[in-house]
Amino acid sequence: MSASDINKIGILVGGGPAPGINSVIHAATMEACQDGIDVVGIYDGFTHLMAGKLVLLPLTPQHVAYIYGEGGSILHTARANPTRRQVDLHNVVSTLVDNGIQALITIGGDDTAFSASRVVRYAQQVMGVDLRSVHVPKTIDNDLPLPEDITTFGFETAREVGTKLVMNLKKDAFTSHNWFLVMSMGRKAGHLALGIGKSAMATVTLIPEEWPGGNIRLQHVVDILVMTVLLRLLEGKPYGVALLAEGILENLDEQDLLALDNLKRDEHGHIRLADVNFLDILKKAMETDLAGLGLQMRMVKQVLGYELRCAPPVAYDIEYTRELGMAAVDFLQRGGTNAIITLQHGQVVPIPYEDMIDSETGRTEVRMVNINSFHYRSGYKFMTRLKPEHAADETLFERLAALTNTSADVLKERYAYLAKS
């Protein structure tokens, strides 16, 4: 198949929703149809293809004319994983080929990118089929291994919506003298939590990158938050919003994980974080430790996630996704394949699938927050928490002890280690 011999393109969406999916579909369809290429939307990710079926939606400029500003996905989405069994890979490739689909545009996160790379490799190396594929990176988690200053689409919308929600919680905390314990989506990385926390000026934001190598102990998290509560009391503020990235849960020490109920995993092996009672356990542990200090705070749990994923995209994400959709079609028409489409400094930069695979795990690399960057340090500076600079304050623990039923020496022995980390 020569560079311009594409007659039919299929588009599918995998993973969780993200604002801007429909805008990619819109732009890719418009671009392809202008060049005489048929476009079909494939429902529910790889689900039906793995069963040897093609459940499709014909896409034309008329069908997609007004979807670019809508949230959600007109093709739905699914986490079906075709890489587990060879028969699933065979069914996916055979079904695409039998229906005349010569190129595939996948829209998704790291799992979908990995699945697309393995489908293309199987088609080319095992079945001898010239199937082309290009991946448009989508995730509100912002954790694909792109250059540090390049966001994934959907992130900016999720950050904006999340910021408004956290700012509402801050106002409620002030009004009602509540403490809110908020967990933000983000998978293993802390990009979304940090982005929301900085923008909304949350009292404190905790992300897994603070614990290099993982193995986070629940008590360490509790200690940080208890000290945040005490420092706020010292300021005369018995309220606040503590924002935690869900990656903390993914990196909890095994002993602490065993204490959690409903620990289930999805088809890609990820913990189903929405089903875990982490905030319940965190809240109870904090209340116990605060009670031991003679303090009682009203704490409210809040998970920040599903309300972010299908929000209508902000202008930034609409423009970004339209460019990505057009670039994906152009890349395929020029003979490109096996790559992820990115925009860097105003130019289209395809990144080969294999360049994004971790050589040790064989999976797509995960981009983590760089805690040595100014981006992180500027957020950390304005958090209320015990920091290394507090170590020089000789009267701090005396002032904190005056708020509790214990002594400065006991508090210092218990919590001073936080000022060293």
Kindly state the tokens that stand for 376: 């992180």
In the chain, the amino acid numbered 407 is S
* Residues 388 and 419: beta-carbon distance below 8 Å: yes
Helix (H, G, I), strand (E, B) or coil at 265: strand
Alpha helices in 201-253 (DSSP H): 218-234, 247-250
Could you list the active site residues? Answer: 141
Tell me how far the alpha carbon of residue 28 is from its chain's centroid.
Answer: 24
Strand partners, 119: none
Q: How far apart are CA 357 and CA 254, in angstroms?
A: 26
* C-alpha distance from residue 230 to each of 79, 365, 397, 406 (Å): 43, 39, 10, 13
Contact 97, 1 (CB under 8 A): no
> Which DSSP string do the residues of 95-140 spell out, in sequence order?
HHHHTT--EEEEEESHHHHHHHHHHHHHHHHTS----EEEEEEB-T
What the block records as the tokens of 377 is 């340090």
